[in-house]
Chains A and B, each alone.
Chain A
Amino acid sequence: MGTTLLHINRLNAWYNREKMVLSDFSITLAEHEVTGLIGLNGAGKTTFLNVLSGLHPAYRAAGIHFHGHPAKPRHKNFKLCRYTVFAEDASFQYFTFREYLSYVFSAYQKKAADVSELIQGFHFEPFADVLFKDLSTGNRKKAYLITAFALKPELLLLDEPVNGLDFESTEYLYQQIAGYKQYGTVLFSSHILESITLTSDRVFVLENGQIRQTFEGGQIHAAKIREALHYEHDV
């Protein structure tokens, strides 16, 4: 593993104090790597990504360090370094994609990037000037993904990025995730085993709010991960 980008030590998160969703959850992400999170429904994947996105206030952690410095998910400096594509999103319904892109770049204080290649890759040309409210779920997802890859944050968080995408866009998404290492780190959750095995440098299997197993490099095989998930299910 390379230089540490993000280290989270003993994170606890809950919706109801009696039942923790994440319990003493610790994770370390390296710079320029792709990390996959996999687990059954309710394992805590989305909650973890929501904590990092600053949307889940009910959490406590022994330490969150970004580039070795203490960080807070709701602090502006941390926000400027990460962007999240949510599993379901219908925000900014009265913006077109181009307007949304300009808005996000302003928010991140960056100059607008050329997105023509990404638009072409995701077959999004006919929808770039349509209001979000008039787009299908899949096309809205593409809009947020294009924005994410164009923005190139140091830490890119993707929650179920494959959901709603067609076959060609899914293939293109895998290429983008795998190629993102040159810009930063990707942390993504998925239920699709293929999306994890084709792109990830490391895979974390989540179970009951904790990391049960980690796979790295050559260990990442669909059969092994499936076995780990089956074990989790049987337990």
Chain B
Amino acid sequence: MNMMFKAFFKKLFGAKYERLARAPFLYLIVYLGLDLADFHITVAPFILYLIVTTSTAAVMWQALSSQENAAAIQNMWMLPFEKKPFLVSYTAVLGIYTFLTKTAAVLAVLLAVADWKIAEVLGSIVCALHAVAVTAAVFAWRNIWHAVCVWMAVLFSAVFFFADLPWFLPMIAADSAFAVFLLLKADGYCFYQPKSSQKKLRKPHRHFTMLFYFFRYLKTHKNYLANTLMMWCIACVLPLFFRQTQTLFAVFAGFAVLSLNTPVCILLSCDPALEQAVRFLPNQKKLFFAPYCLFLFLSSLIADAIFLCSLQIQFGGVRMPLAAAAVGFALQSALCSALLECFCPVRGWKIESDLWHHPRKYIVPAVMLLFAGAVCSFLSQIHVIH
């Protein structure tokens, strides 16, 4: 077990476990920075638990379904292995990875911006561990989906109806123990997901269309498509958050938030073979990067259009200049994202989750926010002059 644990651990944290120290150190800096900034908001403990649980579960699921894991450890699956040590080692390493590199970031932000009691901090850690155990168990038994659905329905009901009761955390701990029990009963191969090789014949196309290529990319990765749809849902509800601050900057900030559609912005980073081909073939600015930029622009523009429609339905006041601004911001985010992919693609990632949560994704929204600030201050100065 020790050997298996070490092998998985080194794969995710580096040969000398360098990431084990680097990630918490980075989050400590984030925590101290936010704490020193003295930015405070009020967050209910239930919201803390909910955010920690959902973010941990999402990242854990992504880590478990990562194709890179399957490729990297298929050799281990070929060797004779003891079921329980394998299950414990594999899920424990992914759980530690999820907690230290992703949940810790969420905790660092939440703990810095609100005041918490020790019991609530411990509660959030229990929730994160619970999310890891339950996600691993659900993943392992996903084929018996109806039983899993019943379990999840009971769990969610318990969480929503009894969250304020004192035995909420013991209940979560008991459910974690149940999840671990289920996990140990699972088959080790349930975590192995070889690539399916269905040879689907396409309608013959003699000529290429890059937009088809990008749509197929989205269609093949259902989670990418789900993320895009989620961005559009966020675009629908975003005006609600700006109810109190109906300023032009808030609308521009909305455009910036909606440019955070990570999976469409990492096309080259997530596919090193494609990056190699784009680098070695001639005329790729015209053939690849221009259509890619157009695709990003369309993706951003649709989200911005939904946001503006929602804003118009809820509060009214959307005029042509704002629509033109949406086009400008969508174009800006598409250009920045394409340039980032061209000149500094993310390399050296271990599993897809690293790619999704790489800090590079905040560069484009940050640039857009700066631009929004500059435009707003310019407009206000003109207003003062007139």
Contacts and interface: CB of A to CB of B under 8 A. Distances in A.
Real binding pair: yes
B199 A127 contact: yes
A102 B217 CA distance: 19
Contact of A99 (B201, B208, B276): B208
A98 B205 contact: yes
Interface size class on chain A is 35 or more
A222 interface: no
A136 B273 CA distance: 16
B207 interface: yes
B283 A134 contact: no
Contact of A107 (B198, B199, B200, B284): B284
B206 interface: yes
B200 A130 contact: yes
A204 to B, nearest CB: 22
Contact of A86 (B203, B274, B276): B276
Interface in A122-163: 127-131, 133-136
B194 to A, nearest CB: 13
B245 interface: no
Interface in B201-217: 201-209, 212-213, 216-217
A91 B274 contact: yes
A55 B274 CA distance: 12
B277 A91 contact: yes
A102 B200 contact: no
Interface stretch (A34-42, A76-84, A223-231): A76-84
Contacts of A54: 279-280
Nearest to A90: B273
Nearest to A78: B282
Contacts of B204: 96, 98, 128-129
Contacts of A133: 220
A158 B283 CA distance: 21
B283 to A, nearest CB: 5
Contact of B276 (A55, A129, A134, A136): A55
B277 A106 contact: no
B271 interface: yes
Contacts of B217: 94
Interface string B172-215: 00000000000000000000000001111111111111001100
Given A55-B276, A93-B274, A131 B282 contact: no
Nearest to A73: B280
A92 B267 CA distance: 11
Interface of A: 53-55, 76, 79-80, 84, 86, 89-96, 98-100, 102-104, 106-109, 112, 127-131, 133-136
Q: Which 5 A-B pairs have the closest CB atoms?
A: A91-B277, A94-B216, A79-B282, A99-B208, A90-B273
Given A103-B208, A104-B281, A129-B202, 9 more contacts: A55-B276, A76-B282, A79-B282, A89-B276, A99-B208, A107-B282, A109-B283, A130-B199, A134-B198
27 contacts: A55-B280, A76-B283, A91-B274, A92-B213, A92-B277, A93-B271, A94-B216, A94-B217, A94-B220, A95-B208, A96-B204, A99-B205, A100-B208, A102-B206, A102-B208, A106-B283, A106-B287, A107-B284, A107-B287, A108-B282, A109-B282, A109-B283, A128-B204, A129-B203, A130-B202, A131-B200, A134-B200
